[in-house]
Structure 1
Amino acid sequence: MSYPTDREICDNSYKLKEFQLVQRNGTWNRESAGFCHSGRLSSAKIYESSTANGRCWTVLSPIVFTYKIIQCENLLDADNDTLLFGHIDNCEELKSSGNPIKRFIVIDEAVHKLYGDKITEYLKARNVIYKMLPLPTTEENKSMELVTKILEEVHKFGIDRRSEPILAIGGGVCLDIVGLAASLYRRRTPYIRVPTTLLAYVDASVGAKNGVNFANCKNKIGGYIPPVAAFLDRSFLETVPRRHISNGLAEMLKMAMMKHKGLFELLEREGRNLLDSKFQTRGETDRADQAHAASASTRIAIETMLEELAPNLWEDDLDRLVDFGHLISPELEMKVLPALLHGEAVNIDMSLMVYLACERGLLAPEERSRVIRCMQSLELPVWHQDCSLELVKKALSERLKHSGGLVRMPLPTALGQAEIFNDTDDDTLCLAFQKWCTELGAGHLPK
């Protein structure tokens, strides 16, 4: 192919050229766009232009991530292939190859005590070569130290980074830490999420984000590399403490308030039963509507979350409805760590924002009361003594710094509807905060 001459550049007659990339016999070459080309055509393009100082190349390289979120049952039954092959579309050839299966597993310590023996039995029954690494994956330990520990153990064990995904089994913190480690090992190693808490089931396992805390800031270090798959088995929730079920319900309530009135009404009506039953259905003795509530509520929570995440996986668009409950909560959660669980901090944030929405005239007082009653029925905190007006303003100020100079505040405009706002004035915020403290904090203003 021909390239522009120096004279063309000097005459400034060469402005911009678009090139396609075509592969023939294993070699990629750029060729002028707009022509039919034999060979393998890439979706990437190169644009070349000239400046007074030389040439400029702009690369357009679309990156596509494909990952599966699979609801399943009996994940640890020896005859269930999902844990080993569920991430592969056509696995028959791999299953019949006779090659040994190898897996590195990171598991939360508490989950290991409950399920370690059963996981071991499963792996041995399937003749899997494995290494299981139990770790204390709590919010206090969510750091690069654990990431490095995982990387060191993965390196010792040795895996094929294309065909032997790392398994993460645990709550949201475990999934976040393992996701970051996998994204760093050999620049990107596939991994699979197996959530064992409700919050991880409906939230952490669904998107692409991973990360760890740094400099006393929540998830300050992280990235956007999704797993190849997430396997969701509700039976794990049976051993989760009641408080952690409530914790996960906060994220479900978030999606209900932002996007789905039907989900809100379902949680309003059946939320307490879901909390009591831990989303389990125990055969014919259970009410049919309770079984439906467990299935429908988790499905809707996941679907509405995916609707928001899939078009904006890397958060190029900073206007995100899923940030509802996440404007104040990171600051509050880190300040009182480990007193509040993530969903509890999120709910306190949402509670204040509901008061703010009402103060702005976006929600009717009756709607605000319904939301607060629903939160309380789910045994979620709606106020906290350490959530001071100073902390709220600091958190919003930090948000301005990292959100392009706009606060981008998601607020409900009705039950199941929301918009992003950038025009909340200080006086309205203060009035809403005072009413929030008076009505929900027994009149005590946080210090």
Structure 2
Amino acid sequence: MQRDLLTADAPRNDGLVAVGSPVSHWSVQAVKHVNYEVRVTENLLDPGNNAILENVTRSVRPRRFVVTDTTVERLYGDRIRAYLTHHGVEHRLLVLPEGEPSKDMDNVLSIVRALDEFGIDRRREPILAIGGGVLLDMVGLASSLYRRALPYIRIPTTLIGLVDAGVGAKTGVNHNGHKNRLGTYFPAERTLLDRTFLTTLPRRHLSNGLAEIMKIALIKDIRLFDLLEAHGPAILDSRLQRPALVDDLASAPVSERLSLEEPQLDPATEVLERAIHGMLQELQPNLWEQVLERVVDYGHTFSPVIEMRALPELLHGEAVAVDMALTTVLATRRGLVSRAQCRRILRAMAALDLPTWHPLCTPEVLVPALLDTVRHRDGQQRLPLPVGIGGAVFVNDLTEAELAAAAQELAATHLAAAR
């Protein structure tokens, strides 16, 4: 075969640019189109709801590999199996340990081993990930690694999964004592959001998810904050269900669902929709995080270190809440947030059963946490701080002394509130 020697800057119709003569340098450019769907639905495990098995090829018996955690298996395992059996789907369930301590590479590799045993068809058999944010992250990482791309469908069963972990592109596991140190960008082909799963969620885990909703409120959506401030405790009590559905939605068949819908958005529905829309609005133009100034990083500067140091005491959203309380005080001391606004924010967080302080809020912990964040933000702090309620600004000049003073003030505020 004759070698095709390209001359410098030779025009090509394949987009490949050759440099030099004879050719010794090629410049390769490619664009990968990314398209994934986030859909709100209800009663996913009702046999009459086909959302999970949409686009299933019926020419051969469909097969699905399902990954879930111990709590979901206990609460919904029988329903998951019954649903798949009803639709004639050959399936296997892999049950993993739950919680942040289990978010490691060993469990990712256990998924890979089980996939080999199942003999999955990487083109036609997307994995079903049914569980909380920890499980979704692990399945996403395994899917991105297994033969370099295996489609998966996310079905979050926790509030933090519905509004945060389930809607973005990131996957990851903890490693070497660091939060999400290993990971990829690999969105699911479809995310199905069903808030009826929240009816069995413990109250603390509902608060955990509300922290990520509060994040969106504080940095970009004052209407969302007003809703949380006015209705937060009631929304928490209702497990974020619509009023007409609190008692009977979990068991209502799909055929009756429309009759239960109300013409106006109730506070819980509006809170969920605004939180999901606000998150996706920030993620879409910067899905691979090429731009490092991200307002959705609010609450995630100090919290990764606090969360890992406090394990298993703090949940992810609780650590984020502590971070937001600290940075609200920082913003107040800089005049970006008024004292009255600061009090409103801290009261609203406390009303959602969220912590606003932790003993690890000391310079000995916070300064190394900031330095670690700077390493991951290309040498700059890029610290998002609230401006009033519903706005944000990035700063790069936070000093150790200023951080220590804010931590001391937050501790004093917490002590006064406790009294």
TM-score by length of structure 1 reads 0.86
Deviation at residue 3 of structure 1 after TM alignment: 4.6
Equivalent positions of 1:127-142 (< 5 A) are 127-142=88-103
Q: Which residue, out of 290, 305, 309, partners 2:283?
A: 309
Q: Distance in 1 between matches of 2:371 and 2:296?
A: 19
Whether contact under 8 Å (2:382, 2:396) holds in the other structure is: yes
SS at match of 2:187: coil
2:395 paired with 1:421? yes
Given the alignment, which residue of 418, 428, 438 partners 2:412?
A: 438
Q: Relative contact order, CA 8 A, sep 6+: which one is greater?
A: 2
Kept after mapping to 2: 8 A contact 1:71/1:232: yes
CA distance in 2: counterparts of 1:291 and 1:118, whole angstroms: 30
CA distance in 2, matches of 1:441, 1:196: 35
Amino acid at match of 2:20: S
Equivalent in the alignment of 2:20? 50
**Mapped pair 1:326 → 2:300:** yes
| Matched positions, count | 403
Q: What does the per-residue CA deviation read over 1:374-426, in whole Å, with 9 as the maximum and x for residues that have no partner?
A: 00000100000122111111011111112111011011112111121112233
Q: 1:443 to 1:120 in 2, by over 3 A?
A: closer
Deviation at 1:56, TM superposition (A): 2.1
The aligned amino acid for 2:175 is: F
Is it true that 1:121 corresponds to 2:90 in the alignment? no
Counterpart secondary structure, 1:104 = strand
Which of the numbers 114, 118, 124 marks the counterpart of 1:157? 118
Matches of 1:213 and 1:83, distance apart in 2: 29
- In 1, Cα distance between the equivalents of 2:24 and 2:415? 63
Q: Look up the match of 1:208.
A: 169
Q: 1:2 to 1:201 in 2, by over 3 A?
A: same
Alpha-carbon spacing, 1:340–1:285, altered in 2? closer, same or farther (3 Å) = closer
Structure 1 residues 23-422: aligned runs within 5 Å: 45-50=15-20, 55-85=24-54, 91=55, 94=56, 97-281=58-242, 283=244, 292-422=266-396
Contact 1:437–1:443 at 8 Å: present in 2 too?
Answer: no
Q: Whole-Å Cα distance in 2 between the matches of residues 145 and 192 of structure 1?
A: 22
Could you list the per-position Cα deviations for residues 158-217 of structure 1 after superposition, in whole angstroms to 9, with x for gaps in the alignment? 121111100110000000000001111111100010000000110000100001110010
- Flag structure 1 segments of 5+ consecutive residues without an equivalent: 6-13, 22-44, 86-90
- In terms of fraction of residues, the more strand-rich structure is 1
Superposed CA deviations along residues 107-166 of structure 1, whole A, max 9, x for unmatched, are 111111000011111111101000011110321111111011111011110121111100
Q: How far apart, CA to CA, are the structure 2 residues paired with 1:352 and 1:186? A: 43
Q: Is the 8 A contact 2:6 2:23 kept in 1?
A: no
- Alignment partner of 1:19 out of 9, 12, 20: 12
Contact 1:274 1:290 in 2 (8 A): no
Structure having the higher Rg: 1
Match of 1:28 in 2: none
Secondary structure class of the residue paired with 2:35 = coil
Q: CA–CA distance in 1 between the matches of 2:368 and 2:245? A: 52
* 123-132 or 425-434, larger mean C-alpha shift: 425-434
Partner of 2:252: none
Unaligned runs of 5+ in 2: 248-260
- The verdict on how the C-alpha distance between 1:284 and 1:203 changes in structure 2, with shifts beyond 3 A counting, is closer
User: Any idea what SS the aligned residue of 1:60 has?
Assistant: coil
Q: Residue in 1 aligned with 2:257? A: none
Aligned-partner Cα distance in 2 for 1:179–1:243: 25
Q: Secondary structure at the match of 1:382?
A: coil
1:406 and 1:76 map into 2 onto residues whose CA distance is: 46
Tell me if the contact between 1:410 and 1:418 (Cα under 8 Å) persists in the aligned partners.
yes
RMSD (Å) for aligned C-alpha atoms: 2.2
Letter in 2 for 1:46: L
% identical aligned pairs:
44
| Cα drift, residue 442 of structure 1 | 4.8
- 2:417 & 2:371 partners in 1: Cα distance? 26
For normalisation by structure 2, the TM-score amounts to 0.92
Change (3 A) 1:101 1:330: same
Deviation string, structure 1 residues 58-99 (Cα, Å, up to 9, x no partner): 2111112111111001101111110111xxxxx3xx55x442
Three-state SS of the structure 2 residue aligned to 1:226 is coil
SS of residue paired to 1:418: strand
Q: 1:282 to 1:119 in 2, by over 3 A?
A: farther
Partners of 2:20 and 2:309 in 1: how far apart? 52
Structure-2 residue corresponding to 1:38: none
Name the CA distance, whole Å, in 2 between partners of 1:113 and 1:385: 35
Letter in 2 for 1:161: R
Q: Secondary structure at the match of 1:168?
A: strand
